[in-house]
């Protein structure tokens, strides 16, 4: 888990550090994006995005749109990776179209009750 030492030096509890989870169980956090890519750069952008941990490009359209999912990883929050996608050369913009955040406990309860 990444911890910003500035927060610890200020005497804040670990649970108040942005991105830190008080539970040892990692929550499920996934974001769905539509990204618009500059004409003629779709293959280059897809290759760059597929190299990023936690990022999956699922499909592309002829007019330069990508359907992407991003999940939290051990090293990076999905919200940080959205910024990385936006700053990728060739990406014009992206829009968050889906978000799901659930604790591991609630996911396990859904599996048992299904």
Per residue in 53-68, pLDDT (tens digit) is: 999 999 999 999 999 9
pTM of the model: 0.68
> How crowded is residue 78: how many other Cβ atoms within 10 Å of its Cβ?
20
pLDDT < 70 stretches in the chain: 1-25, 104-114
55 and 74 in contact (C-beta within 8 Å)? Answer: no
Who's near 4: CB < 8 A, 6+ residues apart? 17, 18
- Which two three-digit tokens encode residue 49? 């995005």
* Domains (range + CATH), the chain: 24-113 (3.30.70.920)
């Amino acid at each position: 888990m990444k911890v910003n030492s500035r927060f610890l030096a200020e005497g804040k509890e670990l649970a108040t550090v942005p991105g830190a989870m008080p539970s040892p169980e990692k929550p499920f956090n996934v974001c769905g994006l539509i990204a618009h890519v500059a004409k003629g750069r779709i293959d280059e952008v897809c290759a760059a995005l597929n190299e990023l941990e936690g990022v999956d490009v699922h499909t592309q359209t002829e007019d330069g749109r990508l359907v992407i999912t991003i999940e939290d990883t051990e090293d990076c929050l999905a919200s940080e990776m959205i910024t990385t996608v936006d700053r990728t050369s060739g990406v014009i913009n992206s829009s968050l179209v889906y978000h799901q955040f659930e604790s591991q406990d609630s996911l396990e309860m859904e599996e048992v009750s299904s």
